[in-house]
Amino acid sequence: MELGLRLGEAPAKRAMRSGLLLGMGLGVGRGEDEDEERRAEEEEEEMDEEDRRGRGLAEPPLQLDLLPLLPSPLQLRFPWATANKNMDASVRGFDVNQAPSPEEGAAASSSPNSTSSSFQMDFSAQVIGGEATAGERGPLRVSDEEENGLGRKKLRLSKEQSAFLEESFKEHNTLNPKQKLALAKQLNLRPRQVEVWFQNRRARTKLKQTEVDCEYLKRCCQTLTEENRRLQKEVAELRALKTSHPFYMHVPATTLSMCPSCERVASTSSATIAAAAEHRPNSFAALFSKPSPLQLGLQPGSPALRQSSPAS
DNA sequence: AAGAGCGATGACGTTACCTCA
DNA sequence: GGTGAGGTAACGTCATCGCTC
C-alpha cells in the first residue's frame, strides 16, 4: 500500500499539541520532502481545479455562499451526466459513488458537449470507489432539491472506501497534502472528502475516548465509595472492639495510624496497600496500582474503539 | 528582532441528509 | 407509509502555527 507516508511536520506537531497522536510511531519531518509536498499540494489544487472544470464551473474559487448555484450533486459526481438531459430518470438505482462502466465513460467523454474531458476516473482495479455494484450499494439518494442544485450534497461512502480510510486512519490520524491526494485518487474521492472524513473520524475517536474515560472515572468513584463505606465500618468495629477489649488493640503502628487533623484511623502503609491489592483485586488499592486507560492513552485501533467504530 | 498580515490546518459545534426500527 | 432516533458527510467558526514582509 502506498499510504504509509510520513506525516508532514506541521500536522504532526499540531496533533502532538492536541494530544491526538497518542504515542503512535510517526516519522516526523519536512526537510527533503518539502518540495515533494509542495508538488502534492499543487497537484491537489489542480485536481480540485479539474474537478471544478468537470462540473462546468469557470472560476476556481468555490464560494460557499454560492453553493446553491452550483450544479447538482449528480453533476458534481458525474459531470458527464450533464450531457444527458434525461439522466435523472435513468440514473435512479445507480450508485453515486460508483464509477460508470467504461462504455458510459467513453460515451460521455467522447461527447462534444461533455465538460468532463479533464475529469478522468481511474477505472483500474486499484480504485476502491468503483468496486461496489449498484445492487450492493442501493439506490441513488438524490432529492429533487439537489437535482435542482439546491441544498447540500451528502454521499454515502462505500464499504470499501470506508474500510480503506479506516485502515489509513490506523496508520496515521492526520494527513499531509500528499497523503490526502494519494488517498483521494485511490478511493476515487475528492481530497476535500478525504479531509472531512479524517476530521470526523478524529472527532469520533475523541468522543469515544471521552466516553471510555468517563466510564473509567465512574467505576473509580464507585469503587472508592464502596471502599470508603467498608473502611468506615471497619473503623467503627475497631472502636467498638477497643472499648470492649482494650488488651487486644496492640496493632502494629505501620498498619494503622491516626490522622493528626481529623483524629481518625486514616491510612495504612504502602506495603499494606500492596498486600490489599494482591488479596482484593477489586479494591481501590488494586485499582490505583494499575495504569488507567487515561494514562495508557487509547489508540485509534484499540478494541474499545474498534468495537464502536462505525466502519467496523 | 518584533510584530502585523495572511494562508493553511485542526478542533469543535452544527446542520442536513440518510437509514432503519 | 409516516416518524423519530442515530449515524455521518459536509459545513462554519475559531484558534494556532508558520511564513513573509
Segment A110-133 shows an average pLDDT of: 35
Per-residue pLDDT reduced to its tens digit, A1-44: 333 333 333 333 333 333 333 333 333 333 344 455 556 555 65
CA–CA gap between residue A136 and residue A175 (Å, rounded): 30
A183 and A219 in one domain?
no
A105 and A36 in one domain?
yes
Per-residue pLDDT reduced to its tens digit, A187-241: 888 888 888 889 888 888 888 888 888 888 888 999 999 999 999 999 999 999 8
Per-residue pLDDT reduced to its tens digit, A233-267: 999 999 998 888 776 656 554 555 555 555 455 44
A270 and A217 in one domain?
yes
Asked whether A310 and A230 are in contact (CB, 8 A), the reply is: no
| Strand B contact at CB of residue A165, distance < 7 A | no
**Which residue's alpha carbon is at the shortest distance from the C1' of C7?**
A310
A121 and A69 in one domain?
yes
Q: What is the pLDDT of residue A35?
A: 53
A211 and A173 in one domain?
no
pLDDT at A48 over 70: no
| Residue A229 within a domain | yes
Residue A68 or residue A280, greater confidence = A280
**Which residue's alpha carbon is at the shortest distance from the C1' of B15?**
A152
- Cell numbers standing for residue A80: 458527464
Q: Which nucleotides of B are covered by protein (CB under 7 A)?
A: 8-13, 16-19
A174 and A87 in one domain?
yes
Q: At what angle do helices A33-54 and A177-187 cross, to 10 degrees?
A: 40
- Stretch among A65-74, A149-158, A220-229 having the lowest mean pLDDT: A65-74
Segment A151-175 shows an average pLDDT of: 80
Domain membership of residue A273 as a residue range: 207-308
Which nucleotide has the shortest C1'-to-CA distance from A180?
B9
A15 and A162 in one domain?
yes
- Cell numbers standing for residue A264: 481518625
Q: Which nucleotides of C are covered by protein (CB under 7 A)?
A: 7-12, 16-18
Asked whether A73 and A96 are in contact (CB, 8 A), the reply is: yes
Q: How many domains does chain A have?
A: 2
Tell which of A135, A161, A189 closes a domain: A189
> Which residues in 115-154 of chain A line strand B, with CB less than 7 A from it?
138-139, 141-143, 145-146, 151-152, 154
| Residue A108 within a domain | yes
pLDDT at A90 over 70: no
pLDDT at A82 over 80: no
